[in-house]
C-alpha cells in the first residue's frame, strides 16, 4: 500500500481526524507541518491540478474571513505568493501519494485509499461546526 505524505497544521482537530481516517484505511501516513514546509510556488501549484484558484485557499483563514484576501477575485500568481508567504492561507488537506499531489479528499485517488466514494465531511472544520475558535486558523 502507498505511503501518504500529509501536510497538516499541528493541533488542527480536523487534520487529526483526516489522518486517522487515512491510517485506518491501511496506508502509512507521514505528517508534515504545513507551516514549516519551505514552500515554493510551483511545487505548491502541483497540489491543485485543475481546481479553480479560489478553491486553493483556506476559507477559514483569518485573513480571508476579515476580507483582507478575497479568494473569489485572486489570480494564480497572487494566490501562490500569498500562500508561500502565509501557509495558513493554504487549503488543507494537502496530500502526496507516491508523487501524485492533491488538495482535499474529493479526488478519486484519495477516496479510493479510504475505501469510500465520498469524503463524508472529513474536510469540514470541527471548530466552525462547534462554533469554537482554532488557535491559528
Instruction: Give pLDDT tens digits for 59-96.
Output: 989 999 999 999 999 999 999 999 999 999 999 889 99
Q: CA-to-CA distance for 27 and 2, rounded, in angstroms?
A: 6
Residue 122 is classified by DSSP as S
125 is catalytic: no
Q: What number does CATH give the domain 3-129?
A: 3.40.30.10
In sequence order, what are the beta bridge partners of 96?
5, 101
pLDDT digits (tens, 9 = 90+) for 98-125: 888 988 765 555 556 555 544 455 555 5
Grid cell in block for residue 19: 489522518
Global pTM reads 0.77
Q: CA-to-CA distance for 96 and 2, rounded, in angstroms?
A: 10
What b/e readout covers 28-53, taking b as 16+ CB neighbours within 10 angstroms? ebebeebeeeebeeeebbebbeeeeb
Catalytic residue among 4, 7, 8, 12: 12
Q: Identify the three-state secondary structure at position 60.
A: coil
Amino acid at each position: 500500500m502507498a505511503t501518504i505524505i500529509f501536510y497538516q497544521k499541528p493541533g488542527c482537530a480536523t487534520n487529526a481526524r483526516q489522518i486517522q481516517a487515512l491510517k485506518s484505511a491501511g496506508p502509512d501516513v507521514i505528517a508534515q507541518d504545513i507551516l514549516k514546509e519551505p514552500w515554493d510556488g510551483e511545487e505548491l501549484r502541483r497540489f491543485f491540478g485543475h481546481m479553480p484558484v479560489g478553491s486553493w485557499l483556506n476559507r477559514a483563514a483569518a485573513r480571508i474571513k476579515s476580507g483582507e484576501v478575497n479568494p473569489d477575485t485572486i489570480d494564480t500568481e497572487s494566490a501562490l505568493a500569498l500562500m508561500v508567504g502565509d501557509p495558513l492561507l493554504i487549503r488543507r488537506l494537502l496530500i502526496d501519494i507516491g508523487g501524485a499531489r492533491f488538495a482535499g479528499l474529493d479526488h478519486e485517488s484519495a477516496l479510493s485509499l479510504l475505501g469510500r466514494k465520498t469524503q463524508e465531511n472529513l474536510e469540514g472544520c470541527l471548530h466552525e461546526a462547534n462554533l469554537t475558535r482554532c488557535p491559528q486558523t
